[in-house]
Amino acid sequence: MREVAIVSRKFAVENSHTLSVAQAHGAYKTLEKLHTLAPLEIIEIIKESGLRGKGGGGAPAGAKWALMPQESERPSFVVINCDESEPGTFKDRQIITKDPHLLIEGILITCYAVKAKHAYVYIRGEYAQYQDVLQGAVDEAYVAGILGEVDVTLHRGAGAYICGEKSALLESLEGKRGHPRLKPKQPEPEWYFGNPTLVNNVETIASVPFIMEHGAAAYRAYGTEKSPGTLLFAMSGHVEKPGVYEAEFGVSMMDYINHYGGGMKNGKKLKAVIPGGASTGVMTAAEADNVQLDYESLRSMGLSLGTGGMIVMDEDTCMVSVLKNLLEFYHEESCGQCTPCREGTGWVDKLVGKILDKRGSSEDIDKLLEVAETMNGKTICVFAPAVSAVIVSFLSRFRDEFEAAL
């Protein structure tokens, strides 16, 4: 397996969160080059690199940047999404603690390209200690004069999963309740207090300095044609060495699990993998044996790559119990704005609870699928459709376990 370190290159360096160590290892080198290029030229480079958003959806970053107005009477903003609340996902916290200056460098390049003077980093409520490290790096960057022309403000959320959804995040940043907004018919920027705003994930922005330094082709040299570059996969569950490891898109899942994860814990057999965070569905061991880690391969299986938060489960895992665990989370975290989500997440949680407690009947399995169907495509954001897809993925692959539990 080809080793690659685009966002993780300073992770092993001691004290790389400090400005002096980060600079000794090349931090902020791209800023000299930055002003030799026009903002639109930078957007073109990002488009050519094929960089895709790493917050779960995989949207092309360059096309999103190009939606931001180059001429505007209103100020433009950049917002970095560090909500990181998807179960199984813990990669952004590696960046903000191990190489916060890489993120700040990426923010400066992004702000220059979309003509923004102020960036916010929205951090999940539970990340207080990680926020302190990032704040320390921001403070050092201000003292060194790296920040000032562009401001960076950290904003801590209050611990709601839905506030990772970009429009709910912006509502929350505006001081309101974190409810997702209606989607526009045509692609347009996001809006923060009515001002054009770009929202990107931490890792997306942390990938930008490499592209600026080495060029679009160097980024494209990794990964596949449609999923270029790398992803910081976070691996948890029944492997010998859980952790966060950067790999290029397109590597085989089993190679990844064996190479970085050190294989299955205690020599047990693999049973199932959630490939990219709780909302991406589940696959069987046989499917995991044949799949490549890129957006297209996962989509062709009716699953998604999400954030690459891989949860590996061994032969002793009860799939009914895993689904119950996930549904409890969704029930707790539904923001309640849309009825199919608010009510549906409660219903599916109760139904799977009944099956798990061996109080269920085959009608409950049918009812579960019926409620999942009702939750799909009828809500403002994709929270409920994702829950629906998770249920379908479990039942289409492990139905026998649900029936055995009746």
Ligand X SMILES: Cc1cc2nc3c(=O)[nH]c(=O)nc-3n(C[C@H](O)[C@H](O)[C@H](O)COP(=O)(O)O)c2cc1C
Using CB under 6 A as the binding rule, whether residue 379 contacts ligand X is answered as no
Using CB under 6 A as the binding rule, whether residue 166 contacts ligand X is answered as yes
Q: Which is nearer to ligand X, 282 or 382 (CB)?
A: 382
Using CB under 6 A as the binding rule, whether residue 222 contacts ligand X is answered as no
In the complex, minimum distance from the CB of residue 380 to ligand X, in angstroms, rounded to a whole number: 10
Q: How crowded is residue 114: how many other Cβ atoms within 10 Å of its Cβ?
A: 24
The SS3 of residue 49 is helix
In the complex, minimum distance from the CB of residue 401 to ligand X, in angstroms, rounded to a whole number: 27
Residue 358 CA to residue 376 CA, distance in Å, equals: 27
Residue 261 CA to residue 243 CA, distance in Å, equals: 8
How many CA atoms lie less than 13 Å away from 173 in the CB half-sphere?
32
Query: Which of 28, 219, 260, 383 touches ligand X (CB under 6 A)?
Result: 383
In the complex, minimum distance from the CB of residue 38 to ligand X, in angstroms, rounded to a whole number: 23
Using CB under 6 A as the binding rule, whether residue 229 contacts ligand X is answered as no
Using CB under 6 A as the binding rule, whether residue 85 contacts ligand X is answered as yes
Number of residues that bind ligand X (CB under 6 A): 23
DSSP string, 200-229: EEHHHHHTHHHHHHH-HHHHHTSB-SSSBS
Q: Which is nearer to ligand X, 97 or 317 (CB)?
A: 97
Q: CA nearest 19: which of 112, 144, 194?
A: 144
The SS3 of residue 171 is helix
Query: Which of 371, 381, 387, 389 touches ligand X (CB under 6 A)?
Result: 381
Using CB under 6 A as the binding rule, whether residue 197 contacts ligand X is answered as no
Residue 161 near residue 86 (C-beta atoms within 8 A): yes
Query: Which of 53, 106, 209, 309 touches ligand X (CB under 6 A)?
Result: 53
Residue 280 CA to residue 387 CA, distance in Å, equals: 9
Using CB under 6 A as the binding rule, whether residue 57 contacts ligand X is answered as yes
How many residues does this entry show for the chain? 406
Using CB under 6 A as the binding rule, whether residue 164 contacts ligand X is answered as yes
Residue 156 near residue 125 (C-beta atoms within 8 A): yes
Using CB under 6 A as the binding rule, whether residue 190 contacts ligand X is answered as no
Q: How crowded is residue 395: how many other Cβ atoms within 10 Å of its Cβ?
A: 18
Q: Which is nearer to ligand X, 278 or 365 (CB)?
A: 278
In the complex, minimum distance from the CB of residue 198 to ligand X, in angstroms, rounded to a whole number: 9
Using CB under 6 A as the binding rule, whether residue 291 contacts ligand X is answered as no
Using CB under 6 A as the binding rule, whether residue 165 contacts ligand X is answered as yes
Q: Taking CB under 6 A as the criterion, which residues in 86-105 touch ligand X?
A: 86
Sole window of 15-23, 108-116, 150-158, 381-389 interacting with ligand X (rule: CB under 6 A)? 381-389
Q: Which is nearer to ligand X, 202 or 313 (CB)?
A: 202
Q: How far is CA 3 from CA 247, 311, 362, in A?
A: 7, 22, 49
Query: Which of 94, 197, 204, 379 touches ligand X (CB under 6 A)?
Result: 204
Beta strands in 239-308 (DSSP E): 243-248, 270-274, 283-284
Using CB under 6 A as the binding rule, whether residue 326 contacts ligand X is answered as no
Query: Which of 4, 31, 37, 59 touches ligand X (CB under 6 A)?
Result: 59
Residue 275 near residue 290 (C-beta atoms within 8 A): no
In the complex, minimum distance from the CB of residue 101 to ligand X, in angstroms, rounded to a whole number: 19
Output the furthest CA–CA distance in the chain (Å, rounded). Answer: 68
DSSP state of 37: S
Using CB under 6 A as the binding rule, whether residue 281 contacts ligand X is answered as no
Strand order of the β-sheet with 243-248 is 243-248, 230-237, 309-314, 270-274, 283-284
What is the identity of the amino acid at 369? Answer: L
Point out which residues pair with 274 in neighbouring strands. Answer: 311
Q: Which is nearer to ligand X, 56 or 209 (CB)?
A: 56
362-375 helix and 383-404 helix, angle to the nearest 10 degrees: 170
Q: Which is nearer to ligand X, 148 or 159 (CB)?
A: 159
Query: Which of 200, 227, 376, 393 touches ligand X (CB under 6 A)?
Result: 200
In the complex, minimum distance from the CB of residue 115 to ligand X, in angstroms, rounded to a whole number: 19
Q: Which residues bind ligand X (CB under 6 A)?
A: 53-57, 59, 81, 83-86, 161-162, 164-166, 199-201, 204, 381-383
